[in-house]
Structure 1
Amino acid sequence: MRAGGGARVGLRVAITLMASNSENPCATEDMARNKTLDRCLQVLQEAKNDSEQFAALLLVTKVVKAGEIDAATRRRIFDAIGFSFPNRLLITKESPHGCPSQIFQSLGMTLLACFSTNPELAIHPQILNKISIFNEIICSEMDAGADIATFTLMIDDSFQCLQAISAHPQGQRHLVDAGTVSALCQVYLNQSHGHMHALCLLVSLLNTMETKCWKSSKSDLLKVLNKLSEQFATEEDNQKFELCNILQHFLPATPILTEDPSLIGCLKNLHTGLFSILSSKLNSSQRDPALKLGGLLVTVYGSDWILAENPEASRKFLALMVNLACVEVRMCLEDSNLDATRFKPDVITACYSIIEFGMMVCVLGEKVCFTETESRQLVRIMVEAFGAVICYFKQVTEEQQWDPFLFASVRILGAWMAEETYALRQEICDVLPFLICYAQKLFECPIKSNDLNNQVKGLSLADRPEVTKWSKDALRFLLPGFCHLSAEDVPRRILISCEFHVLLLRYFTQQWEVFSSSKNAPILPNDAEMSLRTACGIFLNLVVTEPALIRQEECFSSLLSLLMESLQSLLYSQRHLILAANFTTLGLMMSRILADTPVLQGTTVSKGFFRGAIHFLSKAHTTQLNTIDDQTQIVVAERYQKAWDQISELWFLGMQAFSSCVPLLPWLPQSVIESEWLSHIFDLLNKCSPVTMEFDLIAAFQCVLAELAKNSKPCKDIILLNNGEEKANLYGMAALEQCVSQNY
């Protein structure tokens, strides 16, 4: 029996030797050894029972020394043994006298660990169907009297199998489905043997299957995250910086830590740990992971994780992060050589997230409110950082056009241009042609730009919420800033010289197609709608400031046709009211300039558009009794109230534009008569008192009524039938009073 036990110990050595992967430098010895190995493998294949297999494996042990076996040899050994032998070893509960209690299971695990080093065998069904056994082993506790060496080797072999499986996408799915994530969490929480292996495996699975992991093992992952955050808050050695890297992988892209009050402590621990790091003197290797973690936290949690009992402390910490982020951006991007060894796109994109959040706080206040002095100081240092970003744009080569880091840099400058309209204005004008050219390249080359999605995962965890949005849509981030610029003479001239309006129409058309295909969905992603609204703002600026361009460029006739064909589909949807307001007003403003074009010569499309415009303009107001002074007044209709702050200017501008169209389109007054809009206006005027009516509303009604009375006798007759002259005098509408008193 002791001899049998010795044989099994020898088997353990043999299998351990099989798992190494190096080559013997001596070719002559290799040839001799291979001949001997061939004979041993032949014995293995011809073995009639377990004893003969044991003996053959011992022969293999003598032939194959430690460190002298390669993958091909391991495969040959597997072909000789197969899975049936280790499978039987795993289910054998008894052990020979004098051997450790788990010797057979341990030997079976060693065989599987050896086989799993072959990539093909790692996802073999015979390995995959044992994932639950591997999970059970790594979570097991050692029995009393068990051999500790055998016990720990079994765990190590199980981890080796799990690690090999996780190297394959198919294997990762099997691991998550089989409960490996929860098993790994248990190992780490219990600090059992191999807990650092468990943590590394968890990081690997979260990197590739984050959503699936959280869906299957949310409660266990939260416990690990909480434990890691506690360690992060208390550790004061190099482990703190390692935890910085690890914690990034455990923080999902959704703010789950604010869902449960009991998890708020986790955010506090993260705040404590990061403040400790960032307020210390750091070298680059220590600062980088802290900035990446900070960038992720502000992206997902905003200021919720920064809030301290002392508001001053919160402001100080956020200001510290923004300052460090700006300094890091300058250090990396102001290097004219852009030395690749120092250029850290993952760190810089995390810094971008921090800077963008700092901008939001300076502009909006949020929960952290900087003083005016603090805001000015932060804006100054942000100006320097964005100067470095612009400097980087001037050095970009053709090869770097498809670099996802360039996209991230364009995106952050777009955010800056949307909020800050004066600082760096000349510098931004200098790079406007580059930005337009870059956006056009992404828009026109979807195949290459789609490749960005494959690269972005390695760029920055702070940008994880943006992963699905990288493909070819740089314009979405640039449009708000371009909208501001298009209102100013110098940048607008640059936009026009680069034919940005032509690109914008193509983009507008594409976004409308995206919007139209999904607008009936229960939950509509608002990216396309927001892009359409902003594009309307840019077009409106061009219509107001560059009427000659509108007449000359054919693309604007195409835009008008698109607006006219599309408005009706928006008018009756409450959630698309703002977009309907944009389409209406832009279409009316363009109609003033393009009244001679064929589409506006009383066509079905044009009449349908103006019916829609009348509907939008006429339904904006109603009357309401004020119970305080018992007077009836004109108020914004309930359907318009929620959006009125965003559409009121468009409504007033639309009223002016509509009145301008009346003398240019002879068929338009008839559409007004058919809509009964005139009767509705006088109904409002009859019910309310002039003292309750705002002057700008009186002026808006007057401009429409006066043009209709001046250019259409049937409209003038309706106005007179509604006591128009009397109402004009009562409400101080001098222009209307003059029009209705004149004879045709």
Structure 2
Amino acid sequence: FPAMASDSGDGHATLKRCLGVLRDARNDSEQFAALLLVTKAVRAGEVDAKTRRQIFDAIGFTFPTRLLISGQPPPGCPPHTFRALGLTLLACFCTDPELAGHSQVLNKIPTFNEVLLSPCGPDSTSMVDDVYQCLSAVLATARGPRELVAKGTVSALCQAYLSGGHGSDRALTLLLGLLAVAEARCWQRDAPQLLAVLSRLSDDFLKAEDMTKFELCEVLPHFIPLAAPLTRDSQGSECLHRLYKGLADILGSKLSQSQRDPALKLAAGLVQACGAEWIPAGSAGSKFLALLVNLACVEVRLTLEEPDPVELEGKKEVVTACYVLMEMGILECLREENPLLDEVQKMQLMRIMEEAFGAVIFYLRQVKQEDLQDPFIFASVRVLGAWMAEETSSLKQEICELLPFLVHYARKLFKEGSPAVSLPQAELGSTEGPALPQDALRFLLPGFCHLTAEDRPRAILVSQGAPALLCEYFLHQWEVLSSEPMAAGPLTSTEMSLQTLCGIFLNLVVTAPDLVRQDKTFSSLLDVLLKSLPLLLPQEHHLVLAANVATLGLMLARILTGSAALQGTQSAKEFFGATLRFLLQAHTAQADPGSDSLAVAVSPAYRSAWDDIQELWFLGMQALAGCIPLFPWLPSAVLQARWLEGLSELLSRVSPASLDFELITAFQGVLVALARASEPCRDVILAHHGTEWANLYGMAALEQCLAKQ
């Protein structure tokens, strides 16, 4: 080999000869000597992709694997010689993406971790560098991130970073990369270690008084987990407090744009993860929150009121962060329990936010058709939806003018299942991850619900074909809900959307009955409602949605009397059967603490939801009374359900004083309708002392009806 070594002037020729020796080596010594020269060339960076592949073809994975597990090095060599050689070769192979994802590299991950965790002397820095190169390459492969998390690399990187040894900055970079693609899994498996890194970073952030502070603003958001709320334990809460104080220092100072933007993004990241919980109560906290929302609004106005296309492109990320802060501002201005803001601050912020939302509307009115896939437009529509959901009196004219665009945009995304990827934006008050990007409608529904109650916006929505779109969306969301396990748990966005849709349709039924008669959309909707209620009702945790579906179904039935689905079909009978159960089971007799008699009360199963369904229940009773004369088969369905017997039993057991006027009116409306429409129903009421309790409860119309022969 001396001849080869002296030939180092022509590195390429040397390598070629070494590769020949590697291929034809008769024993380990020859192969080892050739390898030393190859690795020397590799380390000197003299190897191109083609040659790297030739090295791999000559060696394969077997020899590096043997080197990694070999014990004693040759006499006179440093103790890590074999391992260092093996790692250099693997680092060389890993520059080929195909090889980096090979199982023979992935199964070396524990070895890589071990090197990171071993004390690093001056003679082992190159090993650490090689390991980082291997890990970076593995991270970039399809299977890599999952394997790295599963094999403990997150913990090793955290420890490597915290130890501050050779290459610890690369450990941080790799952690950022892993968190970017597998945040939930990382936190699930290695929360304590990640929290320790966040603790160090937040400490550095608070103490730094130079540019490091702003650099950390860029790094920190990656370490704030959406998956594992930091407010749950004391260490997380301490980190949050340090971040709050650090941000308060920054935002309270005079800043250049390049300094302010990362700070706003960090604040938005914290809001996404923890809402406003990281901002302490009290005067300092409320001033900070007001400042934060104020700065966000200023940024939005500056960027969107006179949008320069080139400048806007670079600002989209920070404006999206500002949207998150504005959304928090809306929530905080509405918060009544333990509010962070006082009334004066709330008024001021609402005024400032109104101006910012004016800028958002102005921007959306300029949007070109070909730009609709831009995630920034999605973020802008979403934040406007949050404003429309809560604040209906301001910017009404501007919102009305924008409605055609909003309907068109929501329809386009929904129909196309758009690939627009949502920019990170807070799911405030939600327990779920971000909605499907194409689901702009989900964020517009609450606003549409308010607007359909008013003449002008309702007319615009109808003229833009919103009812048909909303019906289609209802069908889609119902399918999603039906496919989810119907287990009790926090309200899903799907169920919330369905409830809001029912609210929109109820508005249309009440305010635009002619539209309901003429638009075939509503017949399709009725078909779905008839079939869905019987599935919903046995489940208490779907009671609010069931109340919406029952009431909307009854209201639609009153208008669409000629619909084929209502002519005594099985689905109609099942729907009305379920509705009757829902209406009757809402009340029960229970002991009245103040007397010996029983009092009427909301049933235990309905109690927690009663605030949400009380109005729907009364509306449903009214609508049922309206349906009875319209469907000749309905009274016999009522008899079959033994509804009259159930109601009679309730009324005969409770003290009349425990029924308020509204409840008596609701019961009387249905009873009178039944007595008028059906002789058998009238007979059942009479047989159950109907005349007596009609008199007792002051149901004059029922008394009169029963008295007629």
Whether the TM-score (by the shorter chain) exceeds 0.5 is yes
**Displacement of 1:323:** 1.0
How far apart, in 2, do the equivalents of 1:631 and 1:256 lie?
50
Higher mean C-alpha deviation, range 385-394 or range 53-62: 53-62
Q: Distance in 2 between matches of 1:106 and 1:584?
A: 72
Equivalent residue, structure 2, for 1:460: 424
Partner of 1:474 in structure 2? 440
Looking at structure 1, the residues matched to 40 and 138 of structure 2 have their Cα atoms a distance apart, in angstroms, of: 30
What residue in structure 2 maps to residue 209 of structure 1?
182
User: 8 Å contact 2:452–2:458 — kept in the other structure?
Assistant: yes
CA contact (8 A) 1:632 1:688 kept: yes
Structure 1 residue corresponding to 2:278, chosen from 301, 305, 309:
305
The 1:61–1:731 alpha-carbon spacing in structure 2 relative to 1, beyond 3 Å, is closer
How far has the Cα of 1:215 moved from its partner?
Answer: 2.8
- Residue in 1 that maps onto 2:257: 284
Matches within 5 A, 1:424-443: 424-443=395-414
Give the partner amino acid of 1:423: S
Question: How far apart are residue 632 of structure 1 and its match?
Answer: 2.9
Letter aligned with residue 683 of structure 1? E
Say which of 679, 693, 708 aligns to 1:727. 693
Contact 2:588–2:602 at 8 Å: present in 1 too? yes
Kindly tell me: are residues 724 and 321 of structure 1, through their superposed partners in 2, closer, same or farther at Cα, counting changes over 3 Å? Answer: same
| One-letter amino acid of the structure 2 residue matched with residue 553 of structure 1 | D
Among all aligned residue pairs of Structure 1 and Structure 2, give the percentage whose two residues are the same amino acid.
54
**Segment drifting more, 544-553 vs 127-136:** 127-136
1:172 aligned onto 2:136? no
Aligned to 1:138: 116
Aligned counterpart, 2:203: 230
Matches within 5 A, 1:654-673: 654-673=620-639
Rounded to whole Å, the distance in 2 between the matches of 1:690 and 1:130 is 80
Q: Which moved more, 1:102-111 or 1:628-637?
A: 102-111
The 1:89–1:707 alpha-carbon spacing in structure 2 relative to 1, beyond 3 Å, is: closer
The answer on 1:389 being equivalent to 2:360 is yes
Q: Which residue of 2 aligns with 1:608?
A: 574
Aligned to 2:606: 640
Q: Cα 1:188–1:461, aligned 2, differ >3 Å: closer, same or farther?
A: farther
> Alignment partner for residue 413 of structure 1, among 370, 384, 395?
384
Match of 2:96 among 118, 139, 148: 118
Shift of 1:41: 4.3
Q: What secondary structure does 2:589 align onto? A: strand
Max Rg structure: 1
* Residues 282 and 342 of structure 1, relative CA distance in 2, 3 Å threshold: farther
Provide closer, same or farther for how the CA distance between residues 139 and 634 of structure 1 changes in structure 2, counting only shifts above 3 A. Answer: same
Per-residue CA deviations over 1:703-732 (Å, capped at 9, x if unaligned) read 222223333333333334444444334333
SS in 1 for 2:601: strand
> What residue identity is the alignment partner of 2:110?
S
Q: Does 1:129 align with 2:95?
A: no
Superposed CA deviations along residues 495-525 of structure 1, whole A, max 9, x for unmatched, are 1111211111111112222222335456587
AA matched with 1:422: S
SS at match of 1:344: helix
Are 1:496 and 2:474 counterparts? no
Distance, in Å, in 2 between the alignment partners of 1:522 and 1:684 is: 29
2:678 aligned residue: 712
Cα distance between partner residues in 2 of 1:112 and 1:597: 72
- Asked if 2 retains the 8 angstrom alpha-carbon contact of 1:248 and 1:461, the reply is no
Q: Which of 330, 335, 352 is 1:359 aligned to?
A: 330
Deviation of the 1:97 alpha carbon: 6.5
The alignment status of 1:566 with 2:532, answered yes or no, reads yes
Whether contact under 8 Å (2:621, 2:670) holds in the other structure is yes
Q: Secondary structure at the match of 1:405?
A: helix
Partner AA of 1:605 in structure 2: S
C-alpha deviation, 1:119, in angstroms: 2.6
1:54 Cα offset (Å): 7.3
| Native 8 Å contact 1:332 1:343 kept in 2 | no
Change (3 A) 1:706 1:96: closer
Q: What is residue 26 of structure 1 aligned with on the other side? A: none
Q: Distance in 2 between the 1:46 and 1:578 partners?
A: 78
Is residue 2:318 matched to residue 1:318?
Answer: no
Q: Could you list the per-position Cα deviations for residues 435-491 of structure 1 after superposition, in whole angstroms to 9, with x for gaps in the alignment?
A: 111111122112xx1x23xx44xx337579876522432211111111111000000
Given residue 386 of structure 2, which amino acid in structure 1 is its aligned partner?
A
How far the C-alpha of 1:199 sits from its partner, in A, is 0.8
The answer to whether 1:422 aligns with 2:393 is yes
Structure 1 residue 551: Cα displacement: 1.4
For the residues of structure 1 that align with 2:616 and 2:49, how far apart are their CA atoms?
72
> Which residue number corresponds to residue 338 of structure 1?
309
Report the secondary structure of 1:394's partner residue. helix
Partner of 1:28: none
Unaligned residue ranges in structure 2 (runs of 5+): none
Q: Deviations over 1:617-639 (max 9, x none)?
A: 12221222312244432111222
Q: Quick one: distance in 2 between partners of 1:551 and 1:59?
A: 86
In structure 2, distance between residues paired with 1:60 and 1:624: 89
Q: Which amino acid aligns with 2:499?
A: R
Measured after TM superposition, the shift of residue 546 of structure 1 is: 0.9
In structure 2, what residue type is equivalent to 1:395? Q
Residue 345 (structure 2) aligns with: 374
Q: Would you say the 8 A contact 2:39–2:88 is kept in 1? A: no
Moved more, 422-431 or 699-708: 699-708
| Partner residue, 1:402 | 373
Pick from 554, 558, 568 the counterpart of residue 592 of structure 1. 558
Question: 1:63 deviation in Å?
Answer: 9.6
Q: TM-score, normalised by structure 2?
A: 0.92
Report the residue type matching 2:91 in the other structure. A
Change (3 A) 1:719 1:172: closer
2:172 to 193, 199, 220: 199
TM-score, length of structure 1 as denominator length: 0.87
Distance 1:245 1:68, change over 3 A: same
User: Structure 1 counterpart of 2:511, which letter?
Assistant: T
User: Could you say if the C-alpha distance between residues 59 and 687 of structure 1 is closer, same or farther in structure 2, counting changes exceeding 3 Å?
Assistant: closer
* Paired AA for residue 127 in structure 1: V
Q: Is the 8 A contact 1:303 1:368 kept in 2?
A: no
Q: Could you say if the C-alpha distance between residues 673 and 237 of structure 1 is closer, same or farther in structure 2, counting changes exceeding 3 Å?
A: same
**How many pairs were matched up?**
707
Aligned with 2:629: secondary structure? Answer: coil
Q: What amino acid sits opposite 2:468 in the alignment?
A: V
What letter corresponds to residue 228 of structure 1 in structure 2? L
5+ residue gaps in structure 1?
18-31, 143-147
1:698 paired with 2:664, answer yes
2:231 is the alignment partner of 1:263: no
Q: Cα 1:204–1:733, aligned 2, differ >3 Å: closer, same or farther? A: same
Q: What amino acid sits opposite 1:709 in the alignment?
A: A
Q: Which amino acid letter does the alignment assign opposite residue 74 of structure 1?
A: R
Are the counterparts in 1 of residues 101 and 142 from structure 2 also a CA contact under 8 Å?
no
Q: Which moved more, 1:582-591 or 1:602-611?
A: 602-611
Cα shift at 1:539 = 0.9
CA distance 1:721–1:65, change in 2 (3 Å): closer
Q: CA deviation at 1:65?
A: 11
Residue 327 (structure 1) aligned with residue 293 (structure 2): no
1:410-440 deviation digits (Å, cap 9, x = unpaired) = 1111111111111111111111111111111
Partner of 1:187: 160
- Alignment CA distance shift 1:568-1:113 (3 Å): closer
> 2:115 is matched by which residue type in structure 1?
I
